């Protein structure tokens, strides 16, 4: 099965909004073996939408439209469909009644304009909207199924799910694209790809072919494995073997193959070992604390964090000796270590991290340019201290500092 | 002038990537009065791209394609254009020579496949790529200008800029869409719109019409004003007047009309008053410190931050009396105040903030459900203590806590 996705709405032709519904739709359709061939965005323009629909009907198995189902004159999706199919629009009394009840439940009177939402191109089936007023529509013509779904994601998603389960999946063989993601940090994309390519290159011609996409995002590499299989069981078997082979070959640089983020992986390691953690940050400005505490239940192991921007804070709060700062500079491995040491003593925690560096854009020197960051990680399994030279702007330096600190901690905890 | 934007690349038809180039292209084209009528995403498929190009040529003033200009067989944009125009492809010796030199400068030998990037559909003009190997192309046919730009944003953007300045802007009258953004926090979207609509509703029919879009993002409302004007001077005059009228009507809920984020606005207020700040966070987990220190130069006023997740940290680090926690609970206005007080004493700062709350998903009680957050802001101009009931998941509660604390501080500093 193959599909087109058409997003309707003039706001999607401005610089302010991007169509993200199509990503969720693609992901769900891929799981039933339906491939996306084309995506389009049209404004609130009956002619433009009718033109796209006309080209797709008879040429593609499925067209999913999102948006333009509201009650106003701008909401033109129903009209465009009726025009292309050359059918009249009928008022669906059941929808009109339900709309009226919804308004009454909120103590409001339904305005006449809302009856537009009850108009149905003749022959179309109504898809229930469990979370809003705009019902969806489904119709088949010339071998093409056409679904009109609402634009708001929270209304669109349950309707898509019902459409897939009730109407689309039963027509498919169970074949589909099934996925896994390996997450890696601390290595450049080129290095990861050079090591991974000889492995994943072979999978394209395997009995269950697996395509691999490498995505580099800030401070992190993701390997997306997509298996095209006759059913989920075959896909799971092939993907589990592939993930295991690749993870073994790449070694500990892979921090997750089950969707967990780095902060969740750290949390799970700390919890398993019954270790508490306290962190002292300078250049990362609280980002490490914030990421560690993004994890539900992190209060089980996260004790406290300090953001010591001023030297005074490092000295009087963490007990970093003033002479140490004078001798090595605030950005140095001895100071990173003293920050972590001071933090561990004060918090009585098992693990402590100290980060000091130059986030920029100011503050760099020829010896210690912007992006110079020293990180100390102290654990009951041993310590690690390193100085990094990160590239990029202030945000990037902050993010990479937190990322590198978590990765150093992960490797120390794994070693134990 | 009106335009289509076509993004080329099979990766843009997966769930992993969305076409964001079109947003930057839209923003720049709008400034020369060029409106986007249609956007499409096609895979690495000559037929699909040729089909879209064929429909656009003669029907629209401008088609901008991005992507598919690399050296591999998958890079089909040049081929699709040549097919639609029914012209042969010629090898451009100057491009081939420049490509060869680029490889040599990096100590590499150019592979034969890279010569694909030097193929030019006959009649097309080459657009220089200052940041990569793939040159762009420009050709006009049947009143439609067609630009092929590379996919990577850092290569695409300078080429787009040159295209606009050299070829597109000279053909336009100087008319365009010019924009301003008003940022608001601490108010629900419905309230902002109810107050703003009577003002901005009138602008649509003004001599220089201004369209207003209201965008609600997490903890924040943005009002985007777009003036359609004959030239920038007219637009500036109308927009300045509109911004000033709206800002005056909405009052201090508007924190920025010049693009600054809330943390930048706070930083500017603190710097103007020569106030230093220290913050003590519990449920926001360091996010407030991290956002305050996202601002370049924040070390001028940000002294330190504490993330006190455990009660022990609140007691022995900030000096919150244990009896106070026992009497009121860790999440309470007296404890928020004691955290801020303790922080101010220890840091010797002018301003201090204390935040304590329940980020969830666990930890809620009937009296204090998830999302309950008490915030104390102490300044030389007076103090403010409030308890909020935020909705949403853990991320949302963290974000709104930091946002509300900054907004309370902003209002206190404005009052002075």
CB contact under 8 A, B312 and A303: yes
Spatial distance between the Cα atoms of A286 and B304, rounded to a whole number of angstroms: 10
Q: Are A246 and A327 in contact (CB under 8 A)?
A: no
Higher pLDDT, A121 or B392: A121
Residues of chain B with C-beta less than 8 angstroms from the C-beta of A303: 309-310, 312-313
Give the separation between CA A168 and CA A384, rounded to whole angstroms. 54
List chain B residues with CB under 8 Å of A297. 362
Residue numbers in B near A360 (CB within 8 A): 296
Find the helix packing angle between A21-30 and A153-163, rounded to 10°: 20
How many CB atoms neighbour CB B82 within 10 A? Answer: 22
Give B31's contacts in chain A (Cβ within 8 Å): none
Give the homologous superfamily in CATH for domain B262-415: CinA-like (3.90.950.20)
pLDDT (average), residues B268-297: 97
Nearest CA in chain B to A297: B362
> pLDDT digits over A305-347, tens only?
999 999 999 999 999 999 999 999 999 999 999 999 999 999 9
Q: Cβ contacts of residue A166 below 8 Å, gap of 6+?
A: none
Task: Choose from A23, A293, A348 for mutation: most chain B CBs within 10 A.
Answer: A293
Phi-psi region of A143 (alpha: psi -120 to 50; beta: other; left: phi over 0): left
CB–CB contact A304 B306 (8 Å):
yes
pLDDT band at B69 (very low <50, low <70, confident <90, very high): very high
Beta partners for A225? Answer: A180, A212
Closest CA relative to residue B196, chosen from B262, B255, B261, B242: B242
- Would you say A352 and A343 are in contact if contact means Cβ atoms under 8 Å apart? yes
A259 contacts in B (CB within 8 Å)?
none
Substitution target from A291, A307, A315 for chain B, most B beta carbons within 10 A:
A307
Q: What is the mean pLDDT of residues A74-84?
A: 94
Find chain B residues with C-beta within 8 A of A22's C-beta: 18
| CA distances to A116, A120, A153, B342 from A99, in Å | 11, 14, 20, 55
- Rounded to an integer, what distance in angstroms lies between the CA atom of residue B353 and that of residue A89? 59
Q: How much is the pLDDT for A148?
A: 98
pLDDT category at B191 given cuts 50, 70, 90 is: confident
Tokens of residue B373, six digits: 């957050």
- Distance in Å, alpha carbon of B101 to nearest chain A alpha carbon: 22
- The minimal CB distance from B303 to the residues A37, A290, A313 is found for A313
- Tell which phi-psi region holds residue B392, choosing left (phi > 0), alpha (psi between -120 and 50) or beta: left
Q: Which residues from B are below 8 Å from A217, CB to CB? A: none
Q: Are strands B2-8 and B35-42 parallel, antiparallel or unpaired?
A: parallel
Candidates A14, A27, A397, A399, partner chain B, best to mutate (most B CBs within 10 A): A14
Tokens representing residue A22 in the block: 């199509």
- Give chain A's mean pLDDT: 93
User: A2-171 and A262-415: same fold?
Assistant: no
Q: Which residue of B has its CA nearest to A314?
A: B304
Q: Are A262 and A403 in contact (CB under 8 A)?
A: yes
The second-level CATH assignment, the architecture, of A2-171 is 3-Layer(aba) Sandwich (3.40)
Partner-chain contact B293 A398, CB within 8 Å: yes
Does A213 contact B11 at a Cβ distance shorter than 8 Å?
yes
B364: left (phi over 0), alpha (psi -120 to 50) or beta: beta
CB B51 within 8 A of CB A52: no
Q: Which residues pair with B304 in a beta bridge?
A: A308, B278
Render pLDDT for B336-385 as a digit per residue (tens, 0 to 9): 999 999 999 999 999 999 999 999 899 999 999 999 999 999 999 999 99
**Looking at beta carbons, which residues of chain B come within 8 Å of A317?**
304, 346
Taking the CA of residue A367 and the nearest CA in chain B, the distance in Å comes to 21
pLDDT at A80 over 90: yes
pLDDT digits (tens, 9 = 90+) for A188-220: 888 888 899 999 999 989 999 999 888 877 778
Going from the C-alpha of A362 to that of each of A283, A393, A398, A401, B414, the distances in angstroms are 12, 11, 14, 17, 28
How far A91 CA sits from the closest chain B CA (Å)? 30
Mean pLDDT to the nearest integer, B70-80: 89
Range from A400-409, B290-299, B389-398 carrying the lowest mean pLDDT: B389-398
Largest CA distance in chain B: 85
From the CA of B36, how many Å to the nearest CA of chain A?
Answer: 6
Chain A residues touching B309 at Cβ < 8 A: 293, 298-299, 302-305
Contact check, Cβ <8 Å, B294/A398: yes
From chain B, pick out residues whose CB is under 8 angstroms from the CB of A45.
37
Average pLDDT over residues A121-142: 92
What is the average per-residue pLDDT within A365-376? Answer: 96
Tell me the CA distances in angstroms from B49 to A138, A233, B6, B55, one per residue in order: 28, 36, 8, 10
Any idea which residue has 């008319």 for tokens?
A: B175
Q: Name the residue in chain B with its Cα closest to that of A31.
A: B15
> Is B18 within 8 Å of A23 when comparing Cβ atoms?
yes
Helix, strand or coil, per DSSP, at residue A51: helix
What confidence score (pLDDT) does residue A260 get?
Answer: 93
Percentages (nearest 5) of helix, strand, coil residues in chain A: 45, 25, 30
Cβ contact A26–B15 (<8 Å): yes
Range of lowest pLDDT (A193-197, B82-86, B149-153):
A193-197
Residue of B6, B10, B12, B14 to mutate, testing the A interface (most A Cβ within 10 Å of its Cβ): B14
The better pLDDT of the pair B255, A11 is held by B255
> pLDDT tens, B97-126?
988 888 888 788 887 778 888 999 999 999
A176-256 placed in CATH 3.30.390.10: no
Can you tell me the distance from the alpha carbon of B21 to that of B66, in angstroms, rounded to the nearest whole number? 8
- Which residues 6+ apart lie within 8 Å of B374 measured at CB? B331, B332, B333, B335, B336, B355, B356, B357, B385, B386, B387, B388
* Sequence spans of domains, chain A: 2-171, 176-256, 262-415
């Amino acid at each position: 099965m193959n599909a087109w996705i058409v997003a309707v709405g003039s706001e999607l032709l401005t610089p302010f909004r991007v169509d993200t519904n199509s990503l969720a739709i693609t992901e769900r359709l891929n799981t039933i073996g339906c491939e996306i061939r084309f995506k389009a965005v049209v404004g609130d323009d009956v002619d433009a939408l009718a033109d796209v629909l006309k080209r797709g009907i008879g040429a593609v198995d499925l067209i999913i439209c999102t948006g333009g189902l509201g009650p106003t004159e701008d909401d033109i999706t129903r009209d465009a469909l009726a025009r292309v199919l050359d059918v009249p629009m009928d008022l669906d009394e059941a929808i009109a009644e339900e709309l009226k009840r919804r308004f009454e439940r909120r103590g409001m009177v339904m305005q006449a304009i809302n009856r537009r939402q009850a108009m149905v191109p003749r022959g179309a089936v109504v898809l229930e909207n469990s979370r809003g007023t705009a019902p969806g529509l489904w119709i088949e013509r010339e071998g093409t199924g056409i679904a009109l779904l609402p634009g708001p994601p929270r209304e669109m998603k349950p309707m898509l799910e019902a459409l897939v389960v009730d109407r689309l999946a039963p027509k498919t063989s169970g074949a589909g694209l099934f996925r896994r993601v390996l997450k890696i940090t601390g290595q450049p994309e080129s290095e990861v790809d050079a090591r991974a390519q000889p492995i994943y290159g072979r999978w394209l011609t395997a009995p269950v072919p697996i395509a691999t996409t490498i995505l580099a995002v800030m401070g992190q590499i993701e390997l997306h494995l997509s298996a095209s299989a006759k059913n989920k069981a075959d896909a799971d078997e092939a993907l589990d073997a592939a993930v295991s082979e690749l993870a073994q070959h790449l070694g500990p640089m892979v921090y997750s193959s089950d969707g967990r983020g780095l902060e969740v992986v750290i949390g799970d390691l700390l919890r398993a070992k019954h270790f508490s953690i306290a962190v002292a940050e300078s250049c990362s400005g609280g980002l490490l604390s914030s990421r560690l505490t993004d994890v539900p239940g992190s209060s089980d192991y996260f004790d406290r964090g300090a953001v010591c921007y001023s030297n005074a804070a490092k000295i009087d709060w963490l007990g970093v000796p003033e002479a140490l700062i004078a001798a090595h500079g605030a950005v140095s491995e001895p100071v990173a270590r003293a920050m972590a040491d001071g933090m561990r003593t004060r918090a009585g925690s098992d693990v402590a991290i100290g980060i000091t560096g130059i986030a920029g854009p100011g503050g760099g020197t020829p010896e210690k340019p912007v992006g110079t960051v020293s990180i100390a990680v102290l654990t009951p399994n041993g310590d690690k201290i390193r100085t990094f030279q990160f590239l990029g702007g202030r945000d990037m330096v902050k993010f990479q500092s937190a990322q590198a600190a978590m990765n150093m901690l992960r490797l120390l905890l794994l070693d134990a």
